[in-house]
Structure 1
């Protein structure tokens, strides 16, 4: 536990080195899954706090369904990071990806907590802090992917990540359309 906050700081400053040190901890698989589950649940709770504080609780989805969706999305990210990275010559494995995504979710939860505090203290900083949180999350993810697979170029990983996201979004849209899930119709204006 004494290494948690220094590793979070290192992950924000140098996510590649932070990712290497996190992987070097090498906990048993059950700890990796527990971290991922706990981090996702804390993130979901914090995501609910912001709309409730802003009085927009009517637009929130059901909490258990939202948590399950977040868990599934994290599993998809883990699988994509593992298998696409390996397809491009990476050396990472699935359990290390679970561990790193769990840590990334923990970093994201910390950033959400900062955003909640900013909303309470300085509400006008909510949007800039939200944008900075997204940028930092991408920074950490790219660094962790480099650490996981041994990639050298963060720019290549970033571009490859965006291309993978575009391709997967297109394929998922096609599958959903094939299964009968169509986007809502827009009426004439």
Structure 2
């Protein structure tokens, strides 16, 4: 089995639904899909640490302690697994037919595409520091675009606007739930109100 990464990467911009179909058609076991996810997450964590170092050197801003790569790996892996669950579960509630394993390989591919974008962003930091901010905005837009297109193909939906709204609401709902869980478990402390003078 051969996978043409260059072709898939190029078509992710021109034919994202076709790429989604090709990815879901790959004869990969669940274990292989999880392994692919972990490889991409590890590479992304290494790149993120490198980006922090480059940003600190270029700007001269004291970055403090770098985020431990293992912590980044754990967090991103958790987010991808949760994202695959939400992508499949929420879609199925609205009549979709997508599975968790297919959602996982699609999100792994989105993470890979964003990682390539981060490589470009690091290079921009070196030569054109200001444009790196614009690249961050473009990557967020690309992530949302691919997520909507892949969700449509995953579940067989036909209304891109409804899917876009659903993706956005799922993001907001997940963020609210995560915030409540983190605060209630004490992992994140709410700031204390200012004392009256």
> Normalising by the residue count of structure 1, what TM-score does the alignment of the two structures yield?
0.90
Which residue matches 2:46? Answer: 45
Do 2:41 and 2:73's aligned partners in 1 also have CA atoms closer than 8 Å? yes
1:105 to 87, 111, 124: 111
Distance change (3 Å), C-alpha of 1:124 and 1:175: closer
Residue ranges of structure 2 left out of the alignment (5+ in a row): 57-61
Distance change (3 Å), C-alpha of 1:187 and 1:143: same
Which residue matches 2:97? Answer: 91
Aligned-partner Cα distance in 2 for 1:2–1:85:
28
Do 2:49 and 2:67's aligned partners in 1 also have CA atoms closer than 8 Å? no
Which residue matches 1:23? Answer: 24
Distance change (3 Å), C-alpha of 1:168 and 1:115: same
Do 1:15 and 1:139's aligned partners in 2 also have CA atoms closer than 8 Å? no
Residue ranges of structure 1 left out of the alignment (5+ in a row): none
1:151 aligns with 2:119: no
CA RMSD, Structure 1 to Structure 2 (Å): 2.0
1:185 aligns with 2:186: no
Aligned-partner Cα distance in 1 for 2:37–2:151:
16
Higher relative contact order (CA 8 A, sep 6+): 1
Do 1:14 and 1:143's aligned partners in 2 also have CA atoms closer than 8 Å? no
1:12-55 deviation per Cα after TM superposition (whole angstroms, max 9, x unaligned): 22222211121122322222111111111111111111110021
Which residue matches 1:169? Answer: 175
Larger Rg: 2
Q: Cα distance, 1:60 vs. partner?
A: 2.7
Instruction: Tell me the matched-pair count.
Output: 189
Aligned-partner Cα distance in 2 for 1:179–1:47:
28
SS of 1:152's partner is: coil
Distance change (3 Å), C-alpha of 1:20 and 1:178: same
